[in-house]
Amino acid sequence: MVMVDQGSCIEVMYPDLYKGLNLKSEDLTAYDSPLAGFNGKLVDPKGQIRLPVQTGSEVVEVDFIVVDAYSLYTAIVARRWLHTLGVVSSTLHQKVKYLSKDRVEELVGNQVMARQYLVSAILHQPAAESSAIVKEG
């Protein structure tokens, strides 16, 4: 499952996709800046890789920052991907629409799957972090 993150300025690839594509460390170029994860902790990237990504009928070259961190998602696509395709996205409707040649194409998220991912993410947190969320919320 891929997350579309309108607030992020970089595309991220997680271990499941990295391994699934049979990528190796020699396929990566250097990327030396640490990233702040959703949990606020710094993550040191393994490197960067440019790959073609097919979205509907369009193929876009995407620079992914590869990280070795836990995520329910296989990748995050961000503003660069959105802007390259000219995507209009709606988090409320979990859809993105974009113009492709002479027609509008649409990608639709799966709300049931998104809820399952959210529940799994909450259950995967260490006890100290999940109890802090309960106390704050």
Higher pLDDT, 21 or 98: 21
Residue 14 scores a pLDDT above 60:
yes
Please state the φ and ψ torsions of residue 135, each to the nearest 5 degrees.
-65, -40
User: How many C-beta atoms surround the C-beta of residue 128 within 10 A?
Assistant: 7
**Mean of the pLDDT values across residues 7-34?**
89
The CATH number of 2-136 is 2.40.70.10
**Cβ(86)–Cβ(65) below 8 Å:** no
Split at pLDDT 50, 70, 90, the class of 126 is low
Split at pLDDT 50, 70, 90, the class of 129 is very low
| Chain center to CA of 60 | 15
| Rounded-to-integer distance, Cα 54 and Cα 45, Å | 24
Segment 53-89, tens digit of pLDDT: 887 778 889 999 999 888 778 888 888 887 887 877 7
Residue 50, pLDDT score? 94
Share the mean pLDDT of the chain.
Answer: 77
To the nearest 10°, the Cα dihedral for 38, 39, 40, 43? Answer: -80
